[in-house]
Amino acid sequence: TEKPTEEPTEKPTEKPTETPTATPTETPATPAPATPDPVTPTATALTERITVKVESGQLGLGSVLAETVIQRTKDSGGILHDVVNFTMDRVDEVVRKITGTLDNTARIMIPDEKDQVADINVNVPKDAIKTLGDSNVNLEIFTDNVRILIAQSSLDTFTEDLFFHVVPIKDQSLRKEVEDRARIERIVREIAADKQIDVVARPMTIETNMQSRPVTITLPLRDVQLPATLPEREDFLSNLVIFIEHSDGDKELKKAKIVDYKPGELGLQFNVDKFSTFTILNMEGWEQYLAATEAAQLLQQNQNHHKAFITGYSDGTFKPNHSITRAEMAAILARNLGYDASAAPAVSSYPDVRDSHWAKGAIEFVKEAGLMQGNEKGRFLPDAPISRGEMAAIASRYKKLDTTAATSGGGFKDAAGHWAAKDIEAASKAGIINGYEDGTYRPGGNLTRAEAVKVVNRLFGRGPLYGAATPSWPDEPATNWAYNEIEEASIDHTFTVRNEGGETLSQ
C-alpha cells in the first residue's frame, strides 16, 4: 500500500518549541470571541440601573412585552458604557406575551438621546437564545446608532451565549482614520477614479460571536443634511453605499436599502454574516461596479472548484482525533498556496529535515512564505505534533492580523500569559479558531486532524461542504462534528455558494 502524504515515519529527536500538554478530548464548540467583560465600576466610576422596554410592533407604537435593565457606568473620564443582560426570565415573559400575535420580533430599546454612550454590550444566554429560536421569535437590538435584527432562523442554530458589542466611532481622530482608509481603499478608488468621495454619518464597529449567520443591520443617516429638492435628494440617496472592513481582513462594498430608521430619520438597511467596521460613503458609480461584480459571480458559481488538500492513512482511515504533525501542516498549507511538488527540489534549511524527507519541499515553501519557522536551535521538528498555540500564530501571520490591541488571549481562561496569546485573540476575533465548551483554548495541546482542516478551511475561505452523502472515510461518520469540514478537505469538488455560508456540493 502506498504511504499517504501525511504519514511520515521519522520520529522527532527533540521536543518542539512548545511542549504540548494534552490533546483535546472533547468536541470543539464553535464559539468565536468570548463575551467582553461588562465594565466593572471602580472607586471613581458611577453605575446606574436604567429600566428600558422590550417591545414589538411598530417602533414606538407597538406593545410592551417586558422590561429589562441597562447597567450604565460612567468611568473616571466621564465616558458612559452600557451593559444589557437579556436574561432568561425576561425572555420567557417576552415569548409568553408575543405568542399568538401578528408580530414576532422582540425589540430591546436602548436609549442614548444625548449621544453620550461610548459603547454597548448586549448579552443573551444560550438558553434564552434557544427559547427565542424555538418560539419563532426574532430579536432586534435598537440603539440611536444602529439597529441589529437577528432572524429566528439565525437564533435557531446558535448554541452559545450570544454577545454584541456596539461601538459608534465618535472620537474625531479615530473617525478620521476610518474615513481616510475608506477613501484610499483599492475598490473605492477603482470606482470613484477622480470623482469626489464623501463619508456620510459616523462609522460604526460591531463585534459579535455570531458569525456565518445572516443578520440585518440598519445604520441611521443621523446628522446628515439631505438636499432640499426631491430630485437632488433622490440622487444623493442613490449614491450611498456601505464600505465594510471585516475583522478577518476582507473589504467590500455593500448595497443598502433606504428605510425609515425611526420617525423623521432615514436609514440604510443591509444584510451581513460577519462583523466589522461599517462606513457610509457617497460616491458615483458604485451601482454599476456591484452589478458587474454580481454578474461575474453568477457566471462563476457553477465553475467554482476546490481540490482536496489532505489524505488519509495506509489503512484507509482519516483518524480525525489524531494529532497532526508540523510536516503535515506544512504540506497542507503549501498545497493551498499553490506549491508545485514537481519543481526543482529545495535545499533544506533545517538539520533535522533530511533531503529524503517527504515534506522537505513543502517545509521550505512555507518557511519562505513566512508562515512556519524552526525553534531557537534552528530545528524544524517535522514529526512533532503542532500545538494549538502554534496554529494560532500561523493563522495570524497568514492573515496579517492586527495583534497590537490584543491583551487577554481572546477571553480564553488559559490563554492569557501564553507566548501566542495575542495571536490567539486576533485569530479568534477573526473567526478562524475556536475554543472549547469549558471556556479554554488549550494553547499547549496538540491540534487534531479534524481541528486542523477546520482552521485551514477558514484560513483559505473554503467550506464547510454540504451535500456529501457518502463519507470519504470509514472512521468519519456524518454525525462527526467536523464532517462537513473534513469532506471539504478530502475531495476534489465543484460547488455553489450557500447564502447562509459554506458550499453546496455540485459534483
Question: Do 144 and 63 reside in the same domain of the chain?
Answer: yes
* Residue-level length of the chain: 507
Cell of 274: 460577519
Measured between alpha carbons, how far is 93 from 91 in angstroms, rounded to an integer? Answer: 5
Measured between alpha carbons, how far is 377 from 12 in angstroms, rounded to an integer? Answer: 14
Count of structural domains within the chain: 2
pLDDT for position 6: 40
**Which range of residues forms the domain containing residue 424?**
305-505
Domain assignment of residue 18, yes or no: no
Measured between alpha carbons, how far is 415 from 409 in angstroms, rounded to an integer? Answer: 5
Domain assignment of residue 488, yes or no: yes
Question: Do 243 and 311 reside in the same domain of the chain?
Answer: no
**What's the angle, vertex CA 214, arms to CA 212 and CA 220, rounded to 5?**
125
Question: Do 166 and 276 reside in the same domain of the chain?
Answer: yes
Domain assignment of residue 471, yes or no: yes
Question: Do 267 and 316 reside in the same domain of the chain?
Answer: no
Question: Do 256 and 362 reside in the same domain of the chain?
Answer: no
Question: Do 271 and 397 reside in the same domain of the chain?
Answer: no
Which stretch of DSSP H or E encloses residue 282? strand 276-282
Do the Cβ atoms of 350 and 378 come closer than 8 Å? Answer: yes
pLDDT for position 14: 36
Measured between alpha carbons, how far is 421 from 436 in angstroms, rounded to an integer? Answer: 16
Question: Do 152 and 199 reside in the same domain of the chain?
Answer: yes
Question: Do 445 and 309 reside in the same domain of the chain?
Answer: yes
Question: Do 268 and 351 reside in the same domain of the chain?
Answer: no
pLDDT for position 335: 92
Domain assignment of residue 15, yes or no: no
Measured between alpha carbons, how far is 391 from 403 in angstroms, rounded to an integer? Answer: 15
Domain assignment of residue 432, yes or no: yes
Q: Which of 219, 250, 284 is the last residue of a domain?
A: 284
Question: Do 269 and 311 reside in the same domain of the chain?
Answer: no
pLDDT digit of tens for each residue in the chain (507 aa)? 333 444 333 333 333 333 333 333 333 333 333 434 444 444 456 889 999 999 998 887 789 999 999 999 998 888 899 999 999 999 999 999 998 887 899 999 999 988 899 999 999 999 999 999 999 999 999 999 999 999 998 998 788 999 999 999 988 888 888 878 877 776 676 676 667 778 888 899 999 999 888 899 999 998 888 999 999 999 899 889 898 988 888 888 888 999 999 988 999 999 998 888 999 988 877 776 666 666 555 555 545 889 999 988 989 999 999 999 999 999 999 999 988 877 756 788 899 999 889 999 999 999 999 999 999 999 999 999 999 999 999 999 999 998 887 777 778 989 988 999 999 999 998 899 999 999 999 999 999 999 999 999 999 999 899 999 899 999 999 999 999 999 999 999 988 888 888 999 986
Measured between alpha carbons, how far is 170 from 144 in angstroms, rounded to an integer? Answer: 13
- Cell 466621564 locates to 78
Question: Do 122 and 260 reside in the same domain of the chain?
Answer: yes
Question: Do 278 and 424 reside in the same domain of the chain?
Answer: no
pLDDT for position 295: 59
